[in-house]
Amino acid sequence: MVRRLILVLGDQLSPPNRLSSLREADPGRDVVLMVEAAEEMTYAPHHRQKLVMVLAAMRQHAEALRGTGFEVRYVRHDDPATSGGLTGELRRAANDLQPEEIWLTRSGEWRLERAFDDLEVSLSAPIRRLADDRYLCDAETFERWAKGRRELRMEFFYRDMRRRHGILMQGDQPAGGRWNFDAENRRRLPKGASTPERLIISPNAVTQGLIAEIATLSPDGFGELDAFGWATNLQEAEDLARHFFADILPGFGDHQDAMARGEPWLWHGRLSAALNLGLLDPLDLCRRAEAQWRAGRAPLNAVEGFIRQILGWREFRARDLLAEDAGLSGHQCAGRRQPPAGLLLVGGDRHGLRGRRGGRDEGSRLCAPHPAADGDRQSRHAAGRRAGGDQRLVSGGLRRRL
């Protein structure tokens, strides 16, 4: 008898002790469900590198869970029996396994939350949805902070988060006597400036297989696959993080917003894709950055700028946009001119916003949009509608728009 059927989504690839739905799971009595849902792959134009990254990470995560003793019911997008959707596969697994309960960590998309609402009333097993505490500010805390404010400014939210988590603080005051070093982080890139060597992750065997698979399924889709270099498992993500803290963070502050023709990375972090898949922990990244400053290995403006991307922008946009999508908030953030959250990546990465070289869009060649808190927005904006035409993905006998 299955006690719990636990659905793990494609951006919930954290170790079991870091994901609320798996933290109390018993490998001997519970079954994990993971689904490569064609509906999620095709509801908007996705960069092909994103498809490879997410699916490769999901397949490796499933094997890692099996290695710890879990039974994983893994449904591939080309499974002849698949329904093609998350809710359809959750219903099919519930009917097959007859669990006592269904557990899942809440998604970051209102669209999916409403779909699970609709499903909940039709299943015999009760569904328990747990908060995603990998985010450092839960919905209730954000609503309490926002209540009574005439406008929501990320800067004030960010200061509150610094106090709450004790990040870059000296007693009750900000380190260095200032909350924000943004003025020091807008320097122009000097002509002929030497840029740092970057660690590019070589595709492992699983990722190589997905590159070939997506190339066959979507030969004319948006985004080139030959330059894939994203982390797709915990070790690769940790390698990127170590490289960033040791070699990139010291120079990150001055030029964190810089862009230059023919320079796709500069000092940009390249950590957001792994962070948003769940392969990196946001609070851990903040504390490691702070440790670099306290050890004298990185300047304060670089460290504060990096932490602000996570503790400020990432947390603020996730909660504000989810409330906005749900129609629960009438607030309008003052000066909302920054790129949509789907393009705002930790460490200054802005996938899809690259200069052109020789007429080629660098975003298409090197950058893949990442799973973000505002799923629909990030897909529409990051893809930039550059997919064009009536391109198709054929999967499981179904012809779907990519």
What is the dihedral sign for C-alpha 121, 124, 126, 132?
negative
Contact yes or no for 36/77 (Cβ under 8 A): yes
Query: pLDDT below 70 — which residues of the chain?
Result: 321-402
- Report the length, in residues, of the chain: 402
Q: What is the pLDDT of residue 318?
A: 87
Query: Would strands 169-170 and 173-174 be described as parallel, antiparallel, or unpaired?
Result: antiparallel
What is the dihedral sign for C-alpha 134, 343, 320, 327?
negative
The Cβ of residue 6 has, within 10 Å, a number of other Cβ atoms equal to 27
CATH level 3 topology of 4-130: Rossmann fold (3.40.50)
- Cβ neighbours of residue 321 closer than 8 Å, sequence gap 6 or more: 341, 373, 374, 377
pTM reported for the whole predicted model: 0.82
CATH number for domain 139-386, candidates 1.10.10.60, 1.20.1530.20, 1.20.1560.10, 1.25.40.80:
1.25.40.80
Contact yes or no for 62/18 (Cβ under 8 A): no
Residue ranges covered by each domain of the chain: 4-130, 139-386
Q: What is the pLDDT of residue 327?
A: 57
Q: Facing residues of 361 across strands? A: 356
What distance in Å separates the CA atoms of residue 384 and residue 265, rounded to the nearest whole number?
Answer: 20
- Cβ neighbours of residue 367 closer than 8 Å, sequence gap 6 or more: 47, 49, 264, 349, 351, 352, 354
What distance in Å separates the CA atoms of residue 82 and residue 84, rounded to the nearest whole number?
Answer: 5
What distance in Å separates the CA atoms of residue 289 and residue 217, rounded to the nearest whole number?
Answer: 40
Q: What is the pLDDT of residue 333?
A: 37
Q: What is the pLDDT of residue 365?
A: 55
What distance in Å separates the CA atoms of residue 169 and residue 150, rounded to the nearest whole number?
Answer: 27
Helices (H), 218-357: 234-243, 249-252, 272-277, 282-294, 300-307, 315-326
